[in-house]
Chains A and B, each alone.
Chain A
Amino acid sequence: MYVAVKGGERAIDAAHDWLAEERRGDPAIPELSLAQIREQMSLAVNRVMTEGSLYDPDLAALAIKQARGDLIEAIFLIRAYRTTLPRIGHSRPVDTGAMRCDRRISATFKDAPGGQVLGPTFDYTHRLLDFALAAEGEAPLARQAEPGPETVPRILDFLGRDGLIQEEPDGDATPPDLTREPLEFPADRALRLQSLTRSDEGFVLGMAYSSQRGYGRNHPFVGELRIGAVEVMMGIPELGFDVCIGDITLTECETVNQFTGSKTEPAQFTRGYGLVFGQTERKAISMALVDRALRWEELGEENVGAPVQDAEFVLAHGDNIQATGFLEHIKLPHYVDFQSELELVRKMRRGARAAQMQEAAE
């Protein structure tokens, strides 16, 4: 009797056991601890927190370990866990102006109050494999400088004082919540930014890069990139005032983009904006470029038909959990659909052959 379709349950259990064994690798090699991942794979942890929409370095480290280092799989674990968490309340908007910066650079001014602070960056390293790391040598301690000012002013505010950059006034509207309401189009800027923060780093990078290469070009400069800790404040109704519930590290990028002006507005600079968890600056810069490109309509710019100008295209395809799920689901059984196509193709071939024979006979 045909038995191959039976035994699915046993096969699944066995596959899971094998997976667990492969995840561990050679048991003679010491197992990674979550603290090791959290401390030494921190940029991976940051990406998982950002795209998983959950700020928790320990859980992100656990997800990376469980996912065998597959970051999209780790993001998926975090998202699925996040679904089960109750929503206790909402924080106040974080004040990134009060950020205690580890890194703060501007590409538009040589110097500005607060200075250029490189911080822990790969930017000027030579990408030479460091074989000392393979020998497990301890890294030398970095020299300590005198602490700078607690907070530094925003670079773009200096442009704003002269009216050279478009204002972004505070709005009263409650921002929509992508994780609690279905994404609907047209999407306003707050919704687009939420979606971009969660979007796949590679996808947003590719979209941003396409805009730089001419598909919807928008002349960006990094006005300011800052990375550091901010306080998360929450209003407690019973107390009647705000309390700080903790610190989180963010990367914020504001780009300065040219704008030639319109009938109602004189020429001035405009902004693109990126904000992500942890030190994740490639994503923050990419996000700012894509944000700016998506603003073509409100700024009265021409839609040149570039993918990066198309909000429906960008937002509907940026989520890597949705994308990888739908992509990989074609591994699932489709015999019923395939069978129906098989019948149809056979029938159409019979029809075509009969027509050919008829023609040959005539």
Chain B
Amino acid sequence: MTLHDQNYNFGYLDEQTKRMVRRALLKALAIPGYQVPFASREMPMPYGWGTGGVQVTAACLTPEDTLKVIDQGADDTTNAVSIRKFFQRTAGVAVTEHTEQASLIQTRHRIPETPLTEGQILVYQVPIPEPLRFLEPRETETRRMHALEDYGLMYVKLYEDIAHNGEISTAYAYPVKVEGRYVMDPSPIPRFDNPKLESAAIQLFGAGREQRIYALPPYCQVVSLDFEDHPFEASKADHDCDLCGCATSYLDEIIVDDAGGRMFICSDTDFCAGRQAAGHIGRLSGKDTA
């Protein structure tokens, strides 16, 4: 028996609703990258705060799970704290900040730096699941385009980017093609994270307001859209982390003084803390900068 608020069912949603979500999840895993409509429920947090991810997490959690919640890569951002507390209260599951110890990770906008392993589940919060939405606002049209594998519009957009700007001007939510079939929105992760979409973990995407679920099974092929002469490039700030010295992690830029002085730190707080604990130091380690 776990300790959770007995006024609510385990994980807040009733069992019928969880079953409905699980059915959508199974279908999504069977057709990687395909957006499965599901009867999203109204949750006690607003649309846009991760209601899709929360419903997917609620449907997957078991009392034995260990949950990690991150927003912008960090465990201590306000909304990550809020969602973690929600599941502590309604499911009583163990929580952790350590990526390796988590069996289920709910994320907004980042994939952890530490590679995920088999048996882990990564749940993404998705605002707009439709990669073609800003090219064609009509759902009836975009569903037809997916059905016919009609992605010409997307390639024209990427081509026009290069023609106007010299490169593809999509910095986050960079579209991918899954198993050579569906073009998928990886949620607003920076394109730096796109290569990590090919993973040993199960990746589930929940869009509550838009009522869609999609998924990537483990080791599924995920290719970022590009052209032979303009290959995809995962980019990040051209700095090392000022706290742990890491040269390969994704960085947050922070303004530290009135003169506009900057520091760069890992966006993945668990990864950065782990490196610091192991003795790695950065440019500003030990200095009081704030």
Contact = CB atoms under 8 A, between A and B. Distances in A.
Interface of A: 1-9, 11-12, 76, 79-80, 82-84, 86, 179-186, 312, 316, 321-322, 324-330, 332-337, 339-344, 347-348, 351
Contact of B76 (A6, A337, A342, A348): A6
Question: Most B CB atoms within 10 A — which of A327, A328, A340?
Answer: A340
B46 A348 contact: no
Nearest to B49: A329
B111 to A, nearest CB: 11
A2 B265 contact: yes
B27 to A, nearest CB: 13
Given A326-B127, A329-B127, A336 B290 contact: no
Given A2-B254, A5-B76, A183-B211, 8 more contacts: A8-B80, A184-B37, A321-B42, A324-B46, A332-B48, A333-B78, A335-B253, A337-B173
Contacts of B167: 347-348, 351
B68 interface: no
B235 A343 contact: yes
B186 to A, nearest CB: 12
Contact of B109 (A4, A322, A334, A343): A334
Contacts of B8: 84
Contacts of B289: 1-2
Contacts of B211: 182-183
A267 B46 CA distance: 48
Contact of A348 (B109, B127, B169, B251): B169
Contacts of A339: 190, 237, 250-253, 267
Interface string B147-185: 000000000000000000111010111000000000000
B236 interface: yes
B275 to A, nearest CB: 15
A341 B47 contact: no
Interface string B195-234: 0000000000000010110000000000000000000000
A333 B71 contact: yes
Interface string B80-94: 111001000000000
Contact of A185 (B13, B85, B110, B139): B139
Contact of A336 (B72, B82, B212, B265): B72
Interface in B225-271: 235-237, 243, 250-254, 256, 263, 265, 267, 269
Given A2-B254, A336-B250, A339-B190, A325 B78 contact: no
The 7 nearest A-B residue pairs measured at CB: A329-B48, A325-B47, A340-B171, A325-B46, A340-B190, A182-B37, A182-B211
A25 to B, nearest CB: 24
14 contacts: A2-B289, A80-B44, A180-B39, A182-B38, A185-B139, A186-B140, A316-B139, A321-B47, A332-B49, A335-B72, A335-B267, A336-B267, A343-B171, A343-B237
Given A80-B44, A86-B14, A333 B72 contact: yes
Contacts of A325: 46-49, 51, 209
A180 B19 CA distance: 13
A169 to B, nearest CB: 28
B47 A5 contact: no
B103 interface: no
A12 B82 contact: yes
Interface of B: 8, 12-14, 37-44, 46-49, 51, 71-74, 76-82, 85, 108-110, 127, 138-140, 165-167, 169, 171-173, 188-192, 209, 211-212, 235-237, 243, 250-254, 256, 263, 265, 267, 269, 287-290
Nearest to A11: B78
Contact of B166 (A316, A336, A351): A351
A178 to B, nearest CB: 9
A83 B41 contact: yes
Nearest to A325: B47
B86 to A, nearest CB: 12
Contact of B42 (A7, A79, A316): A79
Nearest to B164: A348
Contacts of A86: 14
A343 B47 contact: no
A20 B138 CA distance: 42
Contacts of B290: 1-4
A8 B72 contact: no
Contacts of A336: 72-73, 109-110, 172, 188-190, 250, 252, 267
A332 B169 CA distance: 23
A273 to B, nearest CB: 24
A86 B288 CA distance: 55
A228 B164 CA distance: 62
A153 B261 CA distance: 76
B171 to A, nearest CB: 4
Nearest to A181: B39
A14 to B, nearest CB: 12
Contact of B48 (A181, A326, A341, A348): A326
